[in-house]
Amino acid sequence: MLKNEAIEKLESERNTINNAFVNMLFSQVKDMAKNDSDYKKIMQEDKKLSDLKQEFDKFASEHKDGNSAVITPDQAEDLIKKYYGFTDEDNALDMSQFL
């Protein structure tokens, strides 16, 4: 099943890095992925939690206020969607499947 393969890939990446922030990213990506389209995007060879972490680090660096940076939950979700290419359309319920 594609979902299981995607989660296994994320778990493997998480376990390789063993970092509290990457653990949070793992949980959030896993929770945000809702369908096969999302799972396929996670399975892409060039998509890795370590690279996603770098995107967060870059964003935080660009939005520093003195020595501090904050990434809001909405900003975090947007960064994850952008990195993996998740779209709201991918997660829209297709009512035709119930007809």
pLDDT band at 26 (very low <50, low <70, confident <90, very high): very high
C-beta separation of 23 from 50 below 8 A: no
Domain-wise residue ranges, the chain: 2-92
C-beta separation of 28 from 76 below 8 A: yes
Average pLDDT over residues 50-61: 97
C-beta separation of 21 from 53 below 8 A: yes
- Give the pTM: 0.85
